[in-house]
Amino acid sequence: MIHFNDYEKKLVIPRWLDYTKAARSHEFAFPREKPFVVNAITQRRLVDDFADFKSSPLPHKAADLMGAAFVVGEMSMARDLAKYVKGNIALQKPALALADSILGEAHRKLAPTDVSKRIAIDKMFLNEFPQNPFAWVERARCYTILGQFGKAEKCIRIAINLAPADRYVIRSAVRFFLHIDKVEEAWHYIKRSLETQFDPWLKATEVNVAEVMKKSVRKLKWLLSANTSPANIYQFSELIESFGMLELMNGNDHRAKKHFKLAWSNPSPNVVTHSEWIVREHFPSMIEIAEGNFGESLEANAWQHYSNLQIDQACVYAMEWALEEPYAKNAFGLASFIAFQRGKYESGITISKSGLKASPNEFGLQNNLCFGLLKLNNLPQAEIELAKMPRAETPADQVILSATKGLMEFKRGNISLGRSLYYEAIGKAKETGDLRLIVNAALNLAIVELETNSVEDEAEIEAVLKISEKMKTPDVVLTRQLLEQAYTEKKKAPLAFKEFRNPKILPPKF
Amino acid sequence: MSTRPLASRLEGKQIGPWKVIKRKEKAIDDSSGYFSSCYFVENGDGQKAFLKAFNYHYAFGGKSGSADVLKFMTQNFTYERDLLSLCNGSKMRRVVTAIDSGEYSEAGEIISVPYLVFEIADGDLKSHMAISDLAWKLKSFHDALLGVSQLHKVKIAHQDIKPSNILVFGKNVSKISDLGLATQLGNASNWETSEHVGDARYAPVELLYKHFSPNWETRRFGADLFMMGGLLTYMIADTHFLSMMYQKLEDHQRHNSFGGTFSQALPFLLNAYHLSLADLKPLIPEKIRDELTQIIAELSHPDPDKRGNPPRLLNKHRQFSLDRYISLTDRLSKAVK
């Protein structure tokens, strides 16, 4: 049975993007309250120098003045000069590159997609500039993608020492420590970064780490100062969203909605992602307020398409999300789930393996890998992978583990044992009271019975189809479609059904 | 009486021993008034020179506070004249000093024109860039360092070091010019308010981000060092270090959009600084690459507390002393000849 945890309690945890990409978002902006005014001396000299250039134009004069105008934000003058400078062979590369950049014609150098190559480049850079905190963070990110957490941790600690209060460094560090389950470390560094400053982004991170640790946080009486400009709301959106989530968990739906509405009026990408989850799991009626922003988040797009059963688009977005955040286990979880639902087992296996690099002890991904291998009847490899399964910590994980073990027994030809393991899974699912889990286990059992030609009573298939009929969650709908498909095919060849025998183990009643 | 200020119409007039030959060309009419107008002049011995006429008329062009502006301008003129006189007296050979000064007035004109006369140069650094090799540029930079160092020795901070203020005399001598924004420790200029940025185009990055060290040397000598780093970068890359750094920043990180503190800006400024150095390095000939990059790195560090001579050398050199850079560039200019 495929592991799928889209309905876990979702917090507003920072993303961890490479610095160039992160800087492009306004997540690291500190908006000015008053506009910048170029002082009189500068203005006068700009005019003087531009006039001087016009009366006797020279490439080096143009290059100097272009850079100067660019620095003070006199972009019209900078563009005029950049046109003159552009492509002038008398000038050096940095001046030409600046001209291209001013004219919006610069090509951003893309980092190699191969993580090992990125590490090699980063190592060379850090050899030269060991004081650069962002390069250490990027190196840590690359090591994390490869699952080399020891090395990643060393890099992240160096970065923190170099920039102990920097928004990018600390949020990345928190994301890292949460990823490797060192929640106390995450808490320590986020608290320390807030000792000397108030920063809404770091404060939002603190609120969410506290929630992970089940610590209570003092509610801020003010979330927004008097300034409710869109730019300021953007800066505070994660914090507002986080407090909205706290209200929701405390059962204050009305207040929660109020916070969400405010945060979604100009949300950060992280808030967009969260808003999609809020709409899907709690307040579907708020979709109209939220959906306009979904384009800002690959994750939100993936989930939204998935919940609308637009599976192909969901898969594309999930894969892009996985590329952007290669340590995000849910990205790989969703992508592998979709691949399996489409019968693309090879792809699902590859995706699960990629996700396991950064999350080697991730129960769900390891389970999905076993599931895919079993579906391809690769029993020897499936057994190896099943042996690596981490402990099933939650009741839901225990349900899934029993079901996957059941699938293995079916594939081994131990039908009775397989069936009893599935019944065990259904029984455990019933204990959780989660109807979705129960139905998913039953659907999976029915599918494997059909696949292994071991159906003993067609009525049971019908019963599962009936009970799942009214459930609209995408995982149930999609698994049910698989069952319907398999059942229809079987019915076309009715002789394929074995003669009814009394089952040795009685199925649990729904 | 003409509506144009007297300082803008001195052509053909005799000012002391100086016959005003021609106004320094400007493409726009500056009759509305700037602080100063410049002219080419010649004396009876045939000595050609450059005259800077202060335009007090400017004070009356403003909407309010004319008396304050006039006072401000008068003080500026006196201050610059006195600094130049001090430089002359101290025999600063790499600083362009005034060869004459005075005040010109005419019958019927209410406002007189104070002026300074300077030796005439064969162009500025920008006009020599295309025709000069790296050895010449390093020699020119070395001369500029000498000039700034001479100023620093009498506690004068230049505050306006940029390519157009490096004047070239003959084939091989460069001097630092224009003390219009300079200030002296213990003898503060009008510009010496703690938050003075000067010409923001070349200003040290910390001042643009509103970080003003309480320590005068860090604030002012540190600024001069940053501008020297920018100058050296321009000689190599044809663009200033600050503009290279700014190209690496997103719009919202540049000082005109940024509303955070300098310490919040420092990590991304440091990143931009490192990336700029990495771009700069390959442009330098291999045999002097490491040393010259190191000089730029030390002079242009975005954190003024870490700018200048590195801590390991502070027992031999003061943080902002230029002596070490003078001898290094002297050696490097000879090495690339």
What is the number of structural domains in chain B? 2
Q: Are residues B105 and B190 in the same domain?
A: no
B124 DSSP β-pair partners: B167
The pLDDT assigned to B243 comes to 96
- Tell if the CB–CB gap between A72 and B201 is shorter than 8 Å: yes
Say which CATH number the domain at B19 has.
Answer: 3.30.200.20
Q: What is the DSSP string of A208-276?
A: HHHHHTT---PPPS-SS-S---HHHHHHHHHHHHHHHHHHHHTT-HHHHHHHHHHHHTS--HHHHHHHH
CA distances for A451 relative to A454, A483, B152, angstroms: 8, 10, 88
Question: For A265, how many CA atoms within 13 A lie in the half-sphere containing its CB?
Answer: 14
Domain boundary among B119, B151, B176: B119
Query: Minimal CA–CA distance to A201: which of B256, B260, B266?
Result: B260
The pLDDT assigned to A37 comes to 83
Average pLDDT score over residue span A173-182: 94
Q: pLDDT tens-digit profile of B92-139?
A: 999 999 999 999 988 888 788 899 999 989 989 988 988 889 999 999
Q: Is the pLDDT of residue A497 over 90?
A: no
Q: Which domain holds residue B90?
A: 6-119
Chain A partners within 8 Å of B242 (Cβ):
67, 71
Query: Minimal CA–CA distance to A406: which of A456, A432, A371?
Result: A371
E strand or H helix that includes residue B80: helix B66-89
CB-nearest to A67 from B239, B250, B255 is B239
Please give the Cα distance from B250 to B246 (Å, whole number).
Answer: 8
The pLDDT assigned to B61 comes to 61
Q: pLDDT tens-digit profile of A283-331?
A: 989 988 888 888 888 999 999 899 888 988 999 899 889 888 888 888 9
Q: Are residues B96 and B141 in the same domain?
A: no
Asked whether residue B12 is assigned to any structural domain, the reply reads yes
- Tell if the CB–CB gap between A92 and B163 is shorter than 8 Å: no
CA distances for B292 relative to A164, A414, B141, B280, B285, angstroms: 31, 75, 12, 10, 9
The region of weakest confidence among A334-343, A398-407, B31-40 is B31-40
For β-strands B18-23 and B36-42, DSSP reports them as antiparallel
The ipTM value here is 0.90
- Tell if the CB–CB gap between A128 and B247 is shorter than 8 Å: no
Asked if B31 is an interface residue toward chain A (Cβ–Cβ < 8 A), one would say no
Residue to test with chain A: of B168, B239, B280, most A Cβ within 10 A: B239
The Cα of B307 is separated from the nearest Cα of chain A by a number of Å equal to: 14
Average pLDDT score over residue span A82-100: 94
CB-nearest to A55 from B25, B127, B271 is B25
Which residues are CB-neighbours of B310 under 8 A, at least 6 positions away?
B298
Q: pLDDT tens-digit profile of A63-82?
A: 999 999 999 999 999 999 99
Q: Are residues B274 and B181 in the same domain?
A: yes
Q: Is pTM, for the whole model, over 0.90? A: no
**Secondary structure of A386-430 in HEC code, one letter for each residue:** HHCCCCCCCHHHHHHHHHHHHHHHHHHCCHHHHHHHHHHHHHHHH
Asked whether residue B323 is assigned to any structural domain, the reply reads yes
Please give the Cα distance from B58 to B35 (Å, whole number).
Answer: 6
The region of weakest confidence among A172-181, B66-75, B290-299 is B66-75
The pLDDT assigned to B33 comes to 42
Asked whether residue B163 is assigned to any structural domain, the reply reads yes
Average pLDDT score over residue span B303-325: 93
Q: Is the pLDDT of residue A500 over 70?
A: no
Asked whether residue B157 is assigned to any structural domain, the reply reads yes
The pLDDT assigned to B136 comes to 95
pLDDT band of residue A489 (cuts 50, 70, 90) is confident
Asked if B199 is an interface residue toward chain A (Cβ–Cβ < 8 A), one would say yes
Chain A partners within 8 Å of B207 (Cβ):
none
In terms of pLDDT, which residue wins out, B72 or B85?
A: B85
Q: Is the pLDDT of residue B185 over 50?
A: yes
CB-nearest to A60 from B162, B238, B271 is B238
Q: pLDDT tens-digit profile of B223-238?
A: 999 999 999 999 999 9
Domain boundary among B79, B99, B119: B119
Asked if B294 is an interface residue toward chain A (Cβ–Cβ < 8 A), one would say no
Domain boundary among B91, B119, B147: B119
Q: Are residues B76 and B201 in the same domain?
A: no
Q: Are residues B197 and B83 in the same domain?
A: no
pLDDT band of residue A456 (cuts 50, 70, 90) is confident
Q: Is the pLDDT of residue A374 over 90?
A: yes
Asked whether residue B331 is assigned to any structural domain, the reply reads yes
List the single residue in A with minimal CA-CA distance to B237: A92
Q: Are residues B286 and B143 in the same domain?
A: yes
Asked whether residue B306 is assigned to any structural domain, the reply reads yes
Asked whether residue B1 is assigned to any structural domain, the reply reads no
The pLDDT assigned to A400 comes to 93
Q: Is the pLDDT of residue B28 over 50?
A: no
Asked if B123 is an interface residue toward chain A (Cβ–Cβ < 8 A), one would say no
Tokens of A365: 């991904």
The pLDDT assigned to B200 comes to 86
List the single residue in B with minimal CA-CA distance to A232: B259
Q: Are residues B198 and B274 in the same domain?
A: yes
Burial of A289-304, coded b for 16+ CB within 10 Å and e otherwise, reads: bbbebbebbbbbbbbb
Chain B partners within 8 Å of A197 (Cβ):
261, 264
Q: Are residues B41 and B88 in the same domain?
A: yes
CB-nearest to B246 from A33, A70, A134 is A70
pLDDT band of residue A494 (cuts 50, 70, 90) is low
The Cα of B107 is separated from the nearest Cα of chain A by a number of Å equal to: 30
Q: Is B128 exposed, middle or buried (0-12, 13-18, 19+ CB in 10 A)?
A: buried
Q: Are residues B180 and B318 in the same domain?
A: yes
Question: For B156, how many CA atoms within 13 A lie in the half-sphere containing its CB?
Answer: 27
Q: Are residues B176 and B99 in the same domain?
A: no
**Chains A & B: contacts with CB separation below 8 Å:** 172
Chain B partners within 8 Å of A38 (Cβ):
200
The pLDDT assigned to A113 comes to 75
Asked if B283 is an interface residue toward chain A (Cβ–Cβ < 8 A), one would say yes
Asked whether residue B108 is assigned to any structural domain, the reply reads yes
B19 DSSP β-pair partners: B14, B42
- Tell if the CB–CB gap between A132 and B274 is shorter than 8 Å: yes
Say which CATH number the domain at B235 has.
Answer: 1.10.510.10
The pLDDT assigned to A153 comes to 97
pLDDT band of residue A225 (cuts 50, 70, 90) is low
Q: Which domains are present in chain A?
A: 19-109 (no CATH), 111-199 (1.25.40.10), 391-496 (1.25.40)
Q: Are residues B245 and B134 in the same domain?
A: yes
Q: Are residues B132 and B112 in the same domain?
A: no
Tell me how crowded residue A33 is: count the other CB atoms within 10 A of its CB: 9
CB-nearest to A30 from B258, B266, B267 is B258
